[in-house]
Structure 1
Amino acid sequence: MPIARIPLLACAFCLIAHCAVAAAPIKIAALYNTTGGMSSIDAPGLRGAQLAAKHVNAQGGVGGRMIEIVAIDTKTDLQAAAQGAIAALAQGVVAGIGYGDTSFVLAAAPRFMEKGVPFITSGATHPDLPKRLGPTFFMVPFGDDDQAHAIADYAREALGVKRVAVWTDASMDFTTALARYFEERFTGKGGEVVLADTFRAGDRDFSALVERLHKADPKPGAVFVAAVPDEAGVIVKQIRQAGLTLPILSGDGFDTELVTEVPGPELAHGVYFATHTFRGDARPKVQAFLADYRAEYGVAPESAFAALGYDAVMLVADASRRAGKGDTQTLRQALRGTRHFEGVTGRIDYSRTSGVPKKAVSIIGVQNGAYKVEEVWRPGN
């Protein structure tokens, strides 16, 4: 080989190596419970996230780099959530997203915090999460205080409810916080809690609670149920089978097809829950998401958690473009500086000192198995 050709070949190899590095994918961990009791909200979240990655990559990626979703099913098991975080970090992810429940975020996110890698929850709504986890943690959804205030206001003002019973899953951070915020708002609006009862995740027999609800004196005008999806449909079914017709109120834990599938359409009636805005939204971004999700998966988005998963990946992609670099520190700074990001589920910014996005809340009514947007509630400062 002539000596003169060696520098040229060396340059060529350097260029090839540089291109290979530049084209390295942006790896995003997606930790979801796609099996087990939380699967009805987490599986749609993962599907939304994967759809977002497909859309970003179809547009050339982020600065020529494709997004790669590192999906891990943690099987509705808290220990598996912690192990899943460790496994994802070992694969060199620059960010993590996932989960529709606070307990699982608290199991997994600290592993990311230890490494300085941002974690963005797509669906966990406890408003204290940013304070508990620190500046590398971000929320796509609203907080439990906002959604509890929304459904409490709707109960008092739209439904005219004066007295309520409150059922709380006492085993989870999300449900206990949701019930507390609801009670504070409802009583602050002049309402009265006449019965407080508890159960635990995994319970299937609610007959004792139903009996106490039936015998309550004074009679409640509605029952607020702080529950996760695995119990939601069973509770609706057993309340209605007992002949009780009072409104059933809840938060986004009821944003699951189980609310209608388990009791059936005849019993899935008079149910109202607060959830993330996108149903009935005429914005082109929302309509495009609905059409693309159906085209990709053959069904309409099962719940708002599909849209939240989509928004989580799009938020990371947007921050990556603004960061201009692939390191986690720059990405964290870009995420923290997010203002006016328009997602499918509404605008996201982190200008609040709480770190919780200020977002609208939809009140969904279920009548004879059909879902309808009853009201859109907007928070104050």
Structure 2
Amino acid sequence: MCQTGIQAPIDEPALKGAQLAVELLNEKGGILGKKVVLKNMDGKSDPVTVGNVAKQLIDEGAVAIMAPSDFDFGGPASREATANKIVSVSPTASSPLYGSKALGDYAFTLSMWNTTMGAATAEYAYKEGWRTCYVVTDSFIDYTKSLSRYFINRFEELGGTVFFEDSYTQGQQDFSAQLARIKDLPESPDFIYISSYMPDLAMMIRTLRENGIALPVVGGDAYDDPALYQALGAQYGNDIVFDTHGYLSEEAHPDYPSFAEAWKAKYGDYPDETWGMPGYDVIMVLAKSMEKAGSTDGDKVRLAMESMEFDLFTGKLSWSDAASGHEPNKAACLVELIDGEPNFLGWVRPDKIPAP
């Protein structure tokens, strides 16, 4: 997992969630009667480094790999795991490339794919009566590009109209050209879909709001970031809807209070972002699968994972078999920002999911 660099804000809390899960498992006897040892090496948000440290961990005896939460950064770790017939799981990599077809039969992601993430918000928008949209796609990584693609696919299939798909590159810190094109439209869209992530995401939304564009803004799980809520505040943090992996409340999962108390006992405070839960869930999925398989052997564990349904803090999950890509069957958690604070709208499964 990446503890430094651009991927760290997502991976670091997932690692803390995994560490909590290991502690709780060991209190109950570990896995298959053996103590669980979790070792992390910093991938440094660099694909080459991720692949190298994954190989080192495997050489040191790792029986499973938790890979960074993005295809570009996590893929190299999963490829190394597959080469050694070891199961790998990414907590929240949502690209449809993250599965067995691109990364081999031992690779899984705990996340819904962008096919689900894009379709869920497209259907939400259409049900709200919004028929026209302006899309801005961050071109820096596969995640943002494929998320826009599947959103557009489903929105247009429903009968919606995308006025234009604009582009942006993370790190520019200048949204003036996109703003000008939006303001020059002959007709205002019903909403704006922005597929991007922090830190530039906050600047993009603030630029819209500071220039009088109060249209609803819709996006994906990268919006689920306390730094975004803080940057927007009550002044700019309204009419923003996104889908993500979970919500810090009993509304989203009845066992959340016990998770929150365990987190506080270990880390001194309650969790303030959802990204810890997927890391926790990865360890619990591996534990249940190894127990069912009666082994840590990669072939036996992956077959167990393909055959089970898991009730997780991040939603109920099952996977297709390796021949079908290990496609995750998972709901999306819809959230709305109101006065800069996240509010749970519910779990949703799209009526139709685009083909990956």
Taking structure 2 as the reference length, what is the TM-score of the superposition?
0.92
Any unmatched runs of 5+ in structure 1?
A: 1-31
Q: Which residue of 2 aligns with 1:165?
A: 134
Any unmatched runs of 5+ in structure 2?
A: none
Offset, 1:285: 2.5
Q: Which residue of 2 aligns with 1:307?
A: 277
Q: Which residue of 2 aligns with 1:343?
A: 312
Q: Deviations over 1:331-354 (max 9, x none)?
A: 2332233x1221111222224634
Q: Deviations over 1:207-256 (max 9, x none)?
A: 21122222222211211111133332222222222221111110111111
Q: Which residue of 1 aligns with 2:66?
A: 97
Secondary structure (helix, strand or coil) at the match of 2:31 reads: coil
Q: Which residue of 1 aligns with 2:190?
A: 221
Question: Residues 226-241 of structure 1: matches in 2 within 5 Å?
Answer: 226-241=195-210
Q: Which residue of 2 aligns with 1:367?
A: 338
Cα contact 1:265–1:368 (8 A) shared by 2 = yes
Structure-2 change in CA distance of 1:108 and 1:217 (3 Å): farther
Secondary structure (helix, strand or coil) at the match of 1:69 reads: coil
Secondary structure (helix, strand or coil) at the match of 2:111 reads: coil
d(CA) in 1 for partners of 2:63, 2:195: 34
d(CA) in 1 for partners of 2:247, 2:44: 27
Offset, 1:378: 1.7
Cα contact 1:101–1:124 (8 A) shared by 2 = yes
Q: Which residue of 1 aligns with 2:302?
A: 332
Q: Which residue of 2 aligns with 1:9?
A: none
Cα contact 2:138–2:167 (8 A) shared by 1 = yes
Task: Give identity over the alignment, percent.
Answer: 27
Question: Residues 142-221 of structure 1: matches in 2 within 5 Å?
Answer: 142-158=112-128, 160-221=129-190
Cα contact 2:86–2:297 (8 A) shared by 1 = no
Q: Which residue of 2 aligns with 1:128?
A: 97
Query: Comparing 303-312 with 261-270, which one deviates more in the overlay?
Result: 261-270
Taking structure 1 as the reference length, what is the TM-score of the superposition?
0.86
Cα contact 1:364–1:372 (8 A) shared by 2 = yes
d(CA) in 2 for partners of 1:76, 1:299: 27
Query: Comparing 210-219 with 295-304, which one deviates more in the overlay?
Result: 295-304
| Poorly superposed stretches of 4+, deviation over 4 Å | none
Offset, 1:125: 0.8
Q: Which residue of 2 aligns with 1:58?
A: 27
Structure having the higher Rg: 1
Question: Residues 212-291 of structure 1: matches in 2 within 5 Å?
Answer: 212-282=181-251, 283-291=253-261
Question: Structure 1 residue aligned with 2:107, among 100, 117, 137?
Answer: 137
Offset, 1:53: 0.6
Secondary structure (helix, strand or coil) at the match of 2:232 reads: coil
Cα contact 2:47–2:74 (8 A) shared by 1 = no
